[in-house]
């Protein structure tokens, strides 16, 4: 089973602490999610293969590197939208796909309501983003959508996971790399990550 990478960095911890705080309002929550996504993305693709190229500066030719394989972003709606800007800050030319899933709060099963993927997605490596990996059902359903579309190389980037959700994702989809900001204690009786940060979608976009 591949081990998830839990990014251990003082800036991640500091942003996370504010994110968890119940008094953090949506505008600040969005900015923290954006910062954290950039920090996790930086670590997620640290070892991605590159190819040497030449680049012409205003003065001379210099050595450069480009990524061997394009990285595209797929966001699990709705809370994954909060991670989009942080991703595009680092990779502004990436194509972006959306998978709409809403967890049924009684059965805890994800229900699909939308899907739009870039036409070239199968030839790219995909960063699948969702802040929360709780039971794991939504992430697994999204991976299955990507597999059906022909994607072979998937990295799941999440802010927070439960041990139960991580175990399920690892055992059903061992080929998916997992990058996280933190791994919490457990799921609670309502299927929330504990101590967690509450409902990520509501905290990002507000409920009133
Ligand atoms: C949240 C979260 C994940 C899912 C995690 O979304 O963003 O997609 O729950 O739970 P799971 O691992 O048990 O499937 P939710 O379905 O609440 O929708 P939202 O983003 O629209 O709020
Ligand atoms: N979805 C959330 O937004 N938070 C949780 O803790 C679990 C699922």
Q: Which residues contact 175 (CB under 8 A, 6 or more apart)?
A: 154
Q: Tell me, what's the pLDDT at 208?
A: 58
Closest ligand to Cα 139? 1
Q: How far apart are CA 86 and CA 26, in angstroms?
A: 16
| pLDDT tens string 4-62 | 899 999 999 999 999 999 999 999 999 999 999 999 999 999 999 999 999 999 999 99
pLDDT-derived band at 88 (thresholds 50, 70, 90) equals very high
The separation between CA 19 and the C-alpha centre of its own chain, rounded to angstroms, equals: 16
pLDDT-derived band at 1 (thresholds 50, 70, 90) equals very low
| pTM tops 0.75, yes or no | yes
> What is the CATH number assigned to the segment(s) 5-205?
3.40.50.2020
Q: Is the pLDDT of residue 72 over 80?
A: yes
CA of 89 to the centre of ligand 2 (A): 25
Ligand 2 atom, smallest distance to 131 CA:
3
Pair 73, 84: CB distance under 8 Å: yes
Supply the DSSP symbol for 82. G
CA of 52 to the centre of ligand 1 (A): 40
Exposure b/e, 113-136, CB count within 10 A at least 16 = b: eebebbeebeebbbbbbbbbbbbb
Ligand 1 atom, smallest distance to 102 CA:
16
Mean pLDDT for the chain overall: 96
């Amino acid at each position: 089973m591949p081990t998830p990478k839990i990014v251990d960095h003082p800036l991640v911890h500091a942003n996370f602490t504010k994110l968890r705080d119940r008094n953090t309002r949506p505008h600040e929550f969005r900015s923290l999610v954006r910062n954290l996504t950039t920090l996790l993305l930086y670590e997620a693709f640290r070892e991605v293969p590159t190819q040497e190229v030449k680049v012409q500066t205003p003065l001379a030719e210099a050595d450069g590197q480009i990524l061997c394989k394009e990285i595209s972003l797929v966001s699990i709606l709705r809370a994954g939208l909060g991670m989009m800007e942080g991703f595009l800050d680092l990779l502004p030319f990436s194509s972006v796909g959306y998978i709409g899933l809403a967890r049924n709060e009684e059965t805890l099963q994800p229900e699909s309501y939308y899907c739009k993927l870039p036409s070239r997605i199968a030839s790219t490596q995909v960063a699948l983003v969702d802040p929360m990996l709780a039971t794991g059902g939504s992430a697994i359903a999204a991976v299955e959508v990507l597999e059906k579309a022909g994607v072979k190389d998937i990295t799941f980037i999440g802010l927070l996971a439960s041990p139960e959700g991580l175990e399920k994702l690892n055992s059903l989809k061992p080929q998916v790399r997992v990058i996280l900001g933190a791994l919490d204690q457990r799921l609670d009786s309502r299927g929330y990550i504990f101590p967690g940060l509450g409902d990520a979608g509501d905290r990002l976009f507000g409920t009133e």
